[in-house]
Amino acid sequence: MNDYNAEEWEPKTNLGRMVKEGQITSIDEIFDRGLPIMELEIVDSLLPDLEEEVMDVNLVQRMHKSGRKVNFRVIVAVGNKNGYVGLGQGKAKEVGPAIRKAVDNAKYNVIKVRRGCGDWGCVCGREHTVPFKVEGKKGSVRVTLIPAPGGVGLAIGNVGKTILGLAGIDDVWSQTMGQTQTTINFAGAVFDALKKLSMVKAPTKDLKKLGVCVE
C-alpha cells in the first residue's frame, strides 16, 4: 500500500526539504527535537520498512438530519518490528479508503518504543521485552505490560500481540482490566503503555542494566 516515490516527492515543509536533501537522516532526530511531522513522505523516507496490520473493521451508523449515515471504521497498526510502531484509525463509506486513512493516521502517530531486558531472571541484555512495568489506559481498558524473560512470548490478547510484535517486542507478561473485547480501547491502552515507556526518566547506568540501548 506504500506508494512513496522519493523522486516525485515535492516537500511542502522545511522539515520535508531537510529530509529529502539529506540534512536529516534519522527519525530519532525529529523526535528528539520535537519537530511536527506534517508530510507522510517524511515517515516513508526515514522508516521505509514499516509493515501494516488491519486490526479491526467495524460498521458505524449515526443519524443525521438527512437520514442514517453508514461508515466503515478501520483500526490499523504499523511498525518495523524494530522499535517503531504507530496506531491509527480511519472512517469512510468504503473499506478501501477507510484503510488508507487509517494507515496514514498510524504513520503520523509513529513513536519510538523503549525496549530492554527488564526481567530479574533474564540477563541476556537483548532488547526483547519492556524494560520495566508500565500501564496504559484507554476508555474502560487498563493494560499493564510486565518484563518477561526470553522465550515466554507475548502473553497478551491478539490485539496486544499485533501491536507489540510490530514494535519489536518478543516477550511480555500482561494484566488487563475492562472491556478488552473493544478493539479500539484495547489497542489504545497498549499503545498508551508503549508511549509511557519513553516518559520514565532514569539514570543512564540504570537503563544500561535494564538492557536499554542508550546512545
Q: What is the rounded CA–CA span in Å between residue 191 and residue 185?
A: 10
User: Per-residue pLDDT tens for 101-141?
Assistant: 999 999 999 999 999 887 777 777 788 999 989 999 999 99
- Cα diameter, the chain: 63
Give the contacts of 87 (CB within 8 A, at least 6 positions apart).
75, 76, 77, 78, 106, 109, 163, 187, 188, 191
Binning pLDDT at 50, 70 and 90, where does residue 214 land? low
- Residue 156: is its pLDDT beyond 90? yes
Q: What is the rounded CA–CA span in Å between residue 156 and residue 178?
A: 14
Binning pLDDT at 50, 70 and 90, where does residue 205 land? low
User: Per-residue pLDDT tens for 54-85?
Assistant: 999 998 887 777 778 889 999 999 999 999 99
Q: What is the rounded CA–CA span in Å between residue 153 and residue 173?
A: 8
141: β partners: 138
Q: What is the rounded CA–CA span in Å between residue 74 and residue 184?
A: 9
Q: Between vectors from CA 85 to CA 78 and to CA 192, what angle results, nearest 5°?
A: 115
User: Per-residue pLDDT tens for 186-204?
Assistant: 999 999 999 999 886 665 6
The structural domains of the chain, ordered by start, are 1-48 (no CATH), 52-112 (3.30.160.20), 134-209 (3.30.230.10)
How far from 94 is each of 73, 104, 170, 182, CA to CA, in Å?
Answer: 9, 16, 34, 22
Q: What pLDDT is recorded for position 208?
A: 60
